[in-house]
Structure 1
Amino acid sequence: MYRTCAFCNGKLDGDGGPSGLGVGRRLAFDEWRSRLWVICPKCSRWNLAPLEERLEQIEALARAAREGRVAAATEQVALIRWQGYDLVRVGKPPRLEFATWRYGERLKARRREQLKFVVPLTVATVGLAVAVNVAAGGSVGVFVWNMPRMAQWMYRGIVGRRAVGLVEPPICERCGTVMRLQARHMAHARVVPDTKADLGLVLSCPSCHAEGAMLIGPEAQAALRQGLTYLALTRRRRERAEDAARLVEGAGGPERLIRDVARRELTLRSIAPERRLALEMAVDEQAEVAALERQWREAEEIAEIADGLLSTTAELEAELRRLKERGPDGGQPPS
C-alpha cells in the first residue's frame, strides 16, 4: 500500500488498524463492490487500495464495523467509530444508533479552548490584584473573587464577535445595509422550513433589528452552527451530549428533528439549551454524511475505472464474485 495521497501527495497517517494495510486512520470500504479506500487526513480525498490488498482486509473492516458505534448515517454511507479509527461503511448501514462520543469530545474541546483563555487571564489578573489588594489594604477583594466570571464574560465576547463565514454578506431588505454578521447576531435568527433545503435561517439585521434576509443550504448550516456554539457559552449549566443524543433519537433522526424545530419557527435563543445542542448535533451529522456521500461518489467513479483496468486474473475475478454474492453477515446481497 502506498504511503502518500495520490491527490495531494500528503502523508497518509495511521497504521491501518483492522485493515492490515499498515497505513490509514480513516478507512472506507464497500463490501458489495469490493472497494477499499484510505482517506487522506489533509485533503479528505479517497485513495483506492490496490486490488490485491483488498480482499481479506475488507472482511476484517466489516467485522470491526459491526463491533463499532455508528456516529452518523444515510442510506448509502455510515460513519463508524472503532477504537481509535474512523470507518466509513458504504452501502445500506445497520439501524442508526447515535453514539455520543463525537459530541462529548466536541464539548470537552470547547471547554479546553475556553480554559486556555480563562485560566491564564484569571491567574495573571489575580496575581496583580493581590498585589494591589495588599497595597490598598484589602479593598479590592470583591474584584478578585469575581475575576473568573469576568474572564468567562470576556471569552464569550470574543467568540460572539467572530464573523459568520459567508461567501457574500446579505443585504437587508428593510434598510438596505450590508449585514456584517457576527456569531452573537445569530441568537435572534429564526429557524424556518424551506422547500428547497432542509431548513432556512431568517436573519435579524444588526443595523435596523428587523428580519431582513434568509439563508438556506450550506450557508444556513454554517451560520446556525456558529450561533449555536456562541449560545452554548452563555449557559452556566453544562449540557450533556447523551441527553441531546436522546432528543435526536427520540425525534426519529436528524432530519425529523430539524424539520420539527423549523416548523416551530423559533429564534435560536428561545430554544431550550438541551434542544439547541440536539439541533447542532443533527445539523453537524447531516453536513458530515453529505460530504462523505459526495466524496464516496467521486471515489466510486474512479474505482469503477481502476477495477475495470486492473482486474485481470481469474483468481481475483472469482474472489470478487464471492464477496459480492455474500451479505454483510454471510447472507445474500441486498436486492
Structure 2
Amino acid sequence: MYARCLFCQADLGRNEAIEAFPVGRRLAYDAARGRLWVVCRACERWNLTPLDERWEAIEAAERLYRDTRRRVATENVGLARVADGTELVRIGRPLRPEFAAWRYGDQFGRRQRRAIAMGVGTVGAAGAAVVAGPVLGLVSLSTVWPLLNSVNVLLNARRSKRVLSVPVSPARTLRVAAMHAQRARLVPFGEARWRLEVHGVLPDDASAERWLTMDQPTRSVILEGEDALRAAATLLPRVNHAGGSARTVRDAVAMLDETPDPATLFERVADDERRRFYGRSWQLGEDGVVSRFPTAVRLALEMAAHEERERRALEGELAELERAWREAEEIATIADALLVPGSVTDRLRRLRGSG
C-alpha cells in the first residue's frame, strides 16, 4: 500500500473512514469496473490503487456514500464528505466528457490558481517596494526594479536546474533538465505517424543528483510510439504548469472525446500544428514546440497521455487475472480428476466423442 503520490511524491494523507484502505483524503471509485483511485490533494492527479487492495475498500466506500447525507450528484458522478472529512467521488456510468471534466477540472484549476497567486505575489512585492521604499528612505526607485529582477532570476534559475526522471520504457528512464521541458517538440514522422523530440537529456553516466550543474552537457532524444507516450505523460504536466480555466478544460475534454485513442490525438495535433506553423506568413523558431500550442490542445494531450498510461496498467492487471484464472482452472481440473472415478471419466469421454 503506497502512501505518496506516484506523480509528485506528495504525502497522500490518511483517512479513518475506510478501514480496508486508510490512505488518502479523497478517494474516487467505480464499483462497476472495480477501480479505486486516491486523488492527490497537492497535484490533483488520480493514483490507481493496486488490484488486491481495491475490493473491500470499494464496498466500504459505497456503503459510506449511501449512508452520507452530505452529498451532491449529477446523473453519473457523485461527491460525498463523510464524518472524518474524507471525500468520496462515486463514478456511475458517466459519459466520457463528464467524467474527464470531474477528473481533470480540479487538477488544472489548481495549477492556474497557483500560477496566478505567484504572479500576484510578485507584483504585490514589487508594488510594496516601490511605494514603501522611497517613503521610508530605504531604497530609491532606481534600485528597486533591478533588485526584484535579480530575485526573480535567482528563483527561476533554481527551479530550472531541477532534473526530471522521465520513464520511457520499463527498463529505461531518461534524466532531463527541467529547464528544457518547454522545448519538447511534437512532429509528424513517417510510418510512426508522430514522434516526440526531448531536449536537455543528461548522459547515461551522469551523476544522480536532483539539481543540474552549470557545466552539465545535454543532448536531444527522439522517441516514438509507446516510449513517446510514456515520456509525454511526465513532461506535459511540466509544460502545462499554469493549468487552465474551466472553459479551457471543457474545450480540451471535447477534443479528447472526438478522438478514438491517444495516439490518434497526438498524430492529429502534430499534423495540425505543422500546417498552422508553415501556413503563417512568417515563422519563428522550430515547428511543433509543445509549449506554443493553444492551452486547450496541450491540456488534451496531457489527459490523453495519462489515460493511455493508466489503460496499459489496467491491461497488465487483466493479463495477470487471466493467468491466475487459467492456473485456477487447471488446478480445479486436476482436483476434479482426483475425485472422479476413472469409469465416469471414460464414460464422459465416450459421450463427448459420440456428440
TM-score range, shorter chain: 0.5 to 0.7
Between the aligned partners of 1:303 and 1:66, the Cα distance in structure 2 is 37
Shift of the alpha carbon at 1:286?
Answer: 1.6
Task: Look up the match of 2:293.
Answer: 271
Task: Look up the match of 1:97.
Answer: 97
Shift of the alpha carbon at 1:105?
Answer: 0.9
- Structure 2: which 5+ residue stretches go unaligned? 4-11, 40-46, 67-71, 81-86, 169-173, 202-214, 275-287, 332-355
Q: Is the 8 A contact 1:239 1:273 kept in 2?
A: no
Between the aligned partners of 1:304 and 1:37, the Cα distance in structure 2 is 23
Between the aligned partners of 1:162 and 1:300, the Cα distance in structure 2 is 42
Residue 109 of structure 1 aligns with an amino acid whose one-letter code is R
Task: Look up the match of 1:250.
Answer: 258
In structure 2, do the counterparts of structure 1 residues 261 and 298 end up closer, same or farther at CA, with 3 Å as the change threshold? same
In structure 2, do the counterparts of structure 1 residues 252 and 244 end up closer, same or farther at CA, with 3 Å as the change threshold? same
Between the aligned partners of 1:130 and 1:276, the Cα distance in structure 2 is 39
Whether 1:45 aligns to 2:50 is yes
CA RMSD between the two structures = 5.7
Q: Is the 8 A contact 1:164 1:223 kept in 2?
A: no
Task: Look up the match of 2:313.
Answer: 291
Whether 1:164 aligns to 2:172 is no
Task: Look up the match of 2:342.
Answer: none
Q: Is the 8 A contact 1:67 1:82 kept in 2?
A: no
Shift of the alpha carbon at 1:106?
Answer: 1.2
Task: Look up the match of 1:132.
Answer: 133
1:67-99, Cα deviation, whole Å (9 max, x unpaired)? 325xxxxxxxxxxx765545678xxx8764353
Q: Is the 8 A contact 1:228 1:280 kept in 2?
A: yes
Could you say what secondary structure the match of 1:181 adopts?
Answer: strand
1:83-140, Cα deviation, whole Å (9 max, x unpaired)? 5545678xxx876435312222112221344466556666556545544221459952
Whether 1:108 aligns to 2:109 is yes
With a CA cutoff of 8 Å and minimum separation of 6, indicate the structure with the bigger relative contact order. 1
Could you say what secondary structure the match of 2:197 adopts?
Answer: strand
Task: Look up the match of 2:249.
Answer: 241
TM-score by length of 1: 0.52
Aligned-residue sequence identity (percent) comes to 21
TM-score by length of 2: 0.50
Task: Look up the match of 2:349.
Answer: none
Alignment coverage as a number of residue pairs: 262
1:189-247, Cα deviation, whole Å (9 max, x unpaired)? 3224679988531234689x998421346653454355444444589999720111122
Could you say what secondary structure the match of 2:305 adopts?
Answer: helix
Between the aligned partners of 1:300 and 1:39, the Cα distance in structure 2 is 22
